Structure 1
Amino acid sequence: MSGGWNTIESDAGVFTYLVEELGVKDVQFEEMISLDADMLKQQAPIYGVIFLFKYPTNEPRSNEPRDGSFDHAAAENLFFANQVIQNACATQAILGVLLNRKDILIGGPLEEFKEFTQAFPAELRGEALSNSELIRTVHNSFSRSSPFIDENTRVATEEDDVYHFIAYTSINNTLYEIDGLQPAPISHGACTDDEFADKIIPVLQNRISRYPAHEIRFNLLAMVRDLRLRAQEFGDSEALTAEERKRQEWEYENELRRHNFVGFAHQLLKEVIRKKLKDGTYEDWIKDAQDKSKKRIDERMKGKGGDAMDIEY
């Protein structure tokens, strides 16, 4: 295997263009800002959801999941791959939905990968996924560029917050949780596509309820049919325009993610400092910046009752 896997953001635009780069047709992601079944139904048809959460690294291992039950037979009959490499969980969760849905046009490359790994056990499927040049290259193309940290050289410690992506989808009228860190898919009971929105919300709420009340770092993305198609079918030009504008914004943001601007910012700052020194205004410029910073901090502390721990820098 050559090359590593970088972390990518839980972002609707990132995930939408990622699946398109893999050859998938007519699929997009929508961020869900609340756990509301009616809001989720508005995005129908829903192929599944991708859930990001803080992984409980100190939780003891168990022979059974805390919710649902392992379906070891499904691990052989569905596409289920163990996660064998760090940072691949986002794409692996996405594939856990894509490769198990018959109503998605996944395209030639993923069809070939699915057929190639069909007879593999879960661990070998994970190895095949991590060694896929196409999947790894597309995944890494959506990682943020950074000149400071090599994701492959830093080992996480117990003090680090570790986040993990998993998928939920209805397969063969059963609600499955697809998590590559588990030994098998987790069944949460009978669930048709029409029932998915109503049945997934309690599962997620139950999972979140085990975290402290102050823990809010969760993210939920719904994998849905391209909303532009629905707008076209209903002749809703306003909705179509809004969706096209959203795509343009996503494309712009993804281009920014592929570049780091540290070198540019450094050079710009050097030029500004050179000009200030030449004009003799450098000291005044620094003092003015310090005064403005102090004023912002004072205003923020006043607004938060003087609690300096709440200040964000």
Structure 2
Amino acid sequence: MTTRRADADHSTSVAGQPQEAPPTPLTPYAHLPRRYHDRHIAHSTVDAFGSAHWLLAAREPQPGRGALRPYDALVVTVDAEGRDHATELSALRARFPRIDALPDGGFVVADARSRRSEQHVQVYDALGRESWTFRVGDAIEQFLVDPAGRLWVGHFDEGVFGDDELSRPGLRCWSADGEPLWAYEAVEGAGEIYDCYALNVGEDGVWACAYDDFALLEIDADRTDGSDGSVRPRLNSVAGAHALAVWPGRAMFVGGYGDDRDRLVDAVVTHDRVRPVSTGRLVRSDGTPLGRRRTVSRGRQVYVQEEPHTAWAVLDIGV
């Protein structure tokens, strides 16, 4: 696995207006070994330590109103050195699975949609044995584990405005055994979260941008005990980004509405605001436009996975 810097010249901003930057190519990062390509990819992610994971099943889970028959799955992990191994998981119940890895080698899997009566989060140990089940709320948009093993869950609008009270804050933190640790509350300089568009969970903290004011929220993960000052908002004019990379004094926003789905906005981050300095486009490593994709934001990196979801690429702003 390799990374490549997204170069930016912070001196190019004139009269406060962001300048146009050349397209920024992604760098290939991790590939699902070809011997697994005959299986259905139920979900995939990159964890807090840089390992890529694919959740594989024999066939696609069939959503419906009736109970879903539990199914077995395989997690294929490719670590930062490109080595791979597999872990078998049994009796998964997620129709729309989301997965991430725990620091102890285990995994947590959630169903993105759930009823209030369902224990829709399953925790597995490093041997693939189920150890815990609990709820984190309906309509999961973002699902990321931090280096300490805490689970950060962002919700989209159907959860925030739905009948599941666990989803209403829009962004919450949970322990790996289902203990609620923290829930977002509006602070001066940032309103309620109606849809958690972007969430960055890295080694040095947690950042989020949410509809509708898109303030850049810096969350102190070590103050999730409810003490004051856990959230520091910054005024932000960049709307609609679905991913972001952060570095001391700097942020890179990925995506936007309509024709801006591949937009990159490079910005200076001050004590109270975000100041865009350049805009450009994110492209594939060969310079061609990106297709449909999912993203994972981890500190200075944004990982991008296009259909058919067998490979990850990376944007790294910190090297």
Q: What TM-score does the superposition give when structure 2 sets the normalisation length?
A: 0.25
Structure with the higher strand share, 1 or 2: 2
Structure showing greater Rg: 1
Structure in which a larger fraction of residues adopt helix? 1
